């Protein structure tokens, strides 16, 4: 009887072991519901400049929540580049924003986003991003060049804004009717300043004294003719100023 109980116990133990083994095998053989994400096709499309495939492949890759951070950054940068080339600037900035939230130390991303801001017409934001790129990598050559050129452009625009609608002379001292007419119309004031600026530049760049004398004589003749003919029937001041500007620009090569 005792032997029968021992034999029954061995059989039960064997059945339990068998059941546990089957369960373990079944658990190990269960297919993974989230297969490993491969960024290679997305990055290959980016390397090949295949913008359509970048949008498709990188977009599908980015849709997965379990994508590793490093791969997500690479896919975002690839897609942002395509958006920028296609002039979808807001979409590109959104992707660069996400990249920089994931890794605020990426100088390349700051520089790239700055270039997009520049294309979008937001100079201050562009300068800020170029400066941020340089802060993170002082040796970033592209960011340094971008920062310099953008700062110069903003300075030039600021200078132009400061003199917009102002002629080359002091309107408070204007006495002639033609001068008062120029001061009264911003478009004429801007044109007068262009004429004077081009004339000064042409004189500075003249290679021979004879050329300087010719330029001064032509400018004096233009002003004398302008003063004398303004107000007379058929005289078009704006046309005369544009013709003078074209004459100067033809001389100095601009």
237-254: pLDDT as tens digits: 999 999 999 998 874 444
pLDDT category of residue 161 using cuts at 50, 70 and 90: low
Residues 110 and 142: their CA atoms lie apart, in Å, by 11
Is 13 a residue whose pLDDT tops 50?
Answer: no
> For tokens 């600021």, what's the residue?
158
Confirm if 99 and 73 have CB atoms less than 8 A apart: yes
Residues 120 and 92: their CA atoms lie apart, in Å, by 11
* DSSP 8-class letter at 145: H
* DSSP 8-class letter at 35: P
- Count of C-beta atoms within a 10 Å radius of residue 96: 28
Residues 55-96: tens digit of each pLDDT: 999 999 999 989 999 999 999 999 999 999 999 999 999 999
Q: Which carries the bigger pLDDT value, residue 35 or residue 108?
A: 108
Which two tokens mark 143? Answer: 């960011």
Is 205 a residue whose pLDDT tops 80?
Answer: yes
Which two tokens mark 145? Answer: 């060049």
Residues 105 and 140: their CA atoms lie apart, in Å, by 13
Q: Which carries the bigger pLDDT value, residue 27 or residue 109?
A: 109
Residue among 224, 222, 228 nearest 196 (CA) = 222
Q: Mean pLDDT score of the chain, rounded to an integer?
A: 82
Q: Give residue 43's region: left, alpha or beta (phi > 0; psi -120 to 50).
A: alpha
Distance of CA 165 to the CA centre of its chain: 29
Least trusted range by pLDDT, from 12-21, 129-138, 188-197, 241-250? 12-21
Residues 110-147: tens digit of each pLDDT: 999 999 998 988 888 888 898 899 999 999 999 999 88
pTM exceeds 0.85: no
Residue among 75, 68, 10, 76 nearest 34 (CA) = 68
CATH entry 1.10.10.10 includes domain 40-162: no
Which two tokens mark 72? Answer: 């997500």
Residue 163, pLDDT score: 62
Residues 46 and 173: their CA atoms lie apart, in Å, by 63
- What are the structural domain ranges in the chain? 40-162, 171-252
């Amino acid at each position: 009887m005792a032997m029968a109980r021992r034999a029954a116990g061995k059989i039960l133990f064997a059945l339990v072991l068998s059941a546990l083994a089957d369960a373990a095998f079944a658990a190990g053989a269960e297919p993974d519901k989230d297969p490993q994400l491969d960024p290679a096709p997305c990055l290959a499309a980016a390397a090949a400049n295949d913008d359509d495939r970048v949008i498709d492949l990188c977009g599908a890759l980015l849709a997965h929540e379990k994508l590793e951070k490093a791969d997500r950054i690479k896919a975002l940068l690839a897609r942002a580049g395509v958006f920028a080339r296609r002039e979808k600037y807001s979409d590109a900035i959104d992707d660069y924003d996400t990249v920089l939230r994931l890794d605020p130390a990426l100088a390349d991303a700051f520089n790239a986003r700055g270039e997009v801001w520049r294309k979008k017409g937001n100079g201050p934001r562009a300068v800020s991003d170029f400066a941020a790129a340089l802060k993170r990598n002082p040796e970033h050559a592209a960011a340094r060049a971008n920062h310099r050129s953008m700062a110069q452009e903003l300075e030039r625009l600021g200078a132009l804004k400061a003199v917009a609608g102002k002629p080359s002379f002091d309107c408070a001292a204007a006495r002639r009717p033609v001068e008062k007419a120029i001061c009264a119309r911003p478009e004429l004031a801007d044109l007068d300043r262009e004429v004077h600026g081009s004339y000064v530049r042409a004189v500075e760049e003249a290679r021979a004294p004879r050329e300087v004398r010719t330029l001064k004589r032509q400018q004096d003749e233009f002003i004398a003719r302008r003063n004398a003919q303004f107000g007379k029937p058929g005289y078009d001041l704006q046309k005369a100023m544009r013709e003078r500007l074209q004459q100067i620009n033809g001389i100095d090569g601009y």
